Amino acid sequence: MRVFLTGASGFIGSAIVPELVRAGHRVLGLARSDASAEKLAAAGVDVHRGTLTDLDSLRRGAAACDGVIHCAFSHDDFNDYARNCEKDRGAIEALGSALAGSERPLVITAATARFTPGRVSTEDETPDASTGGLRAASEQLAFSFASRGVRVSSLRLPPSVHGDGDYGFVPMLIDIARKTGRSGYIGDGANRWPAVHLLDAARLFLLALEKAPAGARLHAVGDEGVPTRDIAGVIGRKLGLSVEPVPKEHFGWLGGFFGLDTPASSALTQARFGWKPEQPGLLADLEQGTYFARA
């Protein structure tokens, strides 16, 4: 099939592209800049110019394809998470509307975090926006299209999607440690972060596109929950810094995420779709040292 992929030139999208191509699909990738367009063209991807706020462009891209994977998310301002989620809902509305009545697949990206703090969350949990956070509202909106003839599914990612090229939370923690001279964790550091390797997540996006029924929720989780003190421990050892408890404010806005205890399971996803994580876990990936080769 021809697949419209938002975020095609990004960290996750760049790993999804070869999965789609190997499976025989043709990719139409959303590009908001000349640099992104050049990167996609070099990878053999058809280029569709637009942005997450150019809703007409999103509708045209979706309408021209047999299926959609929406993995783009605005990171222009990490401090304005609510606004970024609002943009995400606008994009989902545009994509879903373009596919309505066609029974074509739409895979949207959601988050595992913030369902029932301290308890391992599962795929079958369906929290509302008041308990599940702003990304839960995006998921709710997406699933409203299941009754409008769209084979919509949600692929929930954990706080850490790790691997070469990662520019997310873990590199931020490393940067904070370098700048402050210590590798910190909040409280006793027993709170857990789930994680998944980039390449494992990319394989699951393909499976969701091809196999997930309308209303399916998939968890791309390799590590069910890594204690944050263990993450801080590897960072401290790699940088030669002390590892110690610090106040949440030490991390700025990131402290609100790093202090969460949000373990998540992918047992149902593995049973239902035959997916199994094969790549190194988060701590093993950190130990390999690629995260620390940067200036």
Instruction: Answer yes or no: is 31 within a domain.
Output: yes
Instruction: Answer yes or no: is 275 within a domain.
Output: no
Strand 223-227 relative to strand 192-197: parallel, antiparallel, unpaired?
A: antiparallel
Instruction: Answer yes or no: is 19 within a domain.
Output: yes
In the prediction, which pLDDT does 28 show?
98
| Same domain, residue pair 56 and 110 | yes
Instruction: Answer yes or no: is 253 within a domain.
Output: yes
Rounded to two decimals, what is the model's pTM? 0.94
In the prediction, which pLDDT does 5 show?
98
Structural domain harbouring 242: 163-194+224-263+280-292
Secondary structure class of 94 (helix, strand, coil):
helix
In the prediction, which pLDDT does 161 show?
97
Instruction: Answer yes or no: is 272 within a domain.
Output: no
| Same domain, residue pair 50 and 127 | yes
Asked if 40 and 8 touch (Cβ cutoff 8 Å), the reply is yes
| Same domain, residue pair 97 and 145 | yes
| Same domain, residue pair 129 and 216 | yes
Tokens 């003839």 belong to: 149
| Same domain, residue pair 91 and 213 | yes
Asked if 74 and 52 touch (Cβ cutoff 8 Å), the reply is yes
pLDDT, tens digit (0-9, with 9 covering 90-100), for 198-248:
999 999 999 999 999 999 999 999 999 999 999 999 999 999 999 999 999
CA-based R_g, the chain, Å: 19
| Same domain, residue pair 118 and 144 | yes
| Same domain, residue pair 66 and 211 | yes
| Same domain, residue pair 43 and 176 | no
| Same domain, residue pair 99 and 181 | no
Instruction: Answer yes or no: is 46 within a domain.
Output: yes
| Same domain, residue pair 175 and 79 | no
In the prediction, which pLDDT does 184 show?
98
| Same domain, residue pair 208 and 180 | no
| Same domain, residue pair 144 and 156 | yes
In the prediction, which pLDDT does 126 show?
79
In the prediction, which pLDDT does 118 show?
75
In the prediction, which pLDDT does 294 show?
65
In the prediction, which pLDDT does 116 show?
67
Q: Which residues contact 50 (CB under 8 A, 6 or more apart)?
A: 30, 31, 32, 57, 58, 60, 61
Give the DSSP H/E element, type plus range, for residue 194: strand 192-197
CATH of the domain at 118: 3.40.50.720
Tally the domains of the chain: 2
Q: pLDDT (tens digit, 0 to 9) for every residue of the chain, 295 residues total?
A: 999 999 999 999 999 999 999 999 999 999 999 999 999 999 999 999 999 999 999 999 999 999 999 999 887 666 677 888 899 999 999 999 999 999 999 999 999 866 667 789 999 987 655 544 667 889 999 999 999 999 999 999 999 999 999 999 999 999 999 999 999 999 999 999 999 999 999 999 999 999 999 999 999 999 999 999 999 999 999 999 999 999 999 999 999 889 999 999 999 999 999 999 999 999 999 998 789 986 5
In the prediction, which pLDDT does 128 show?
58
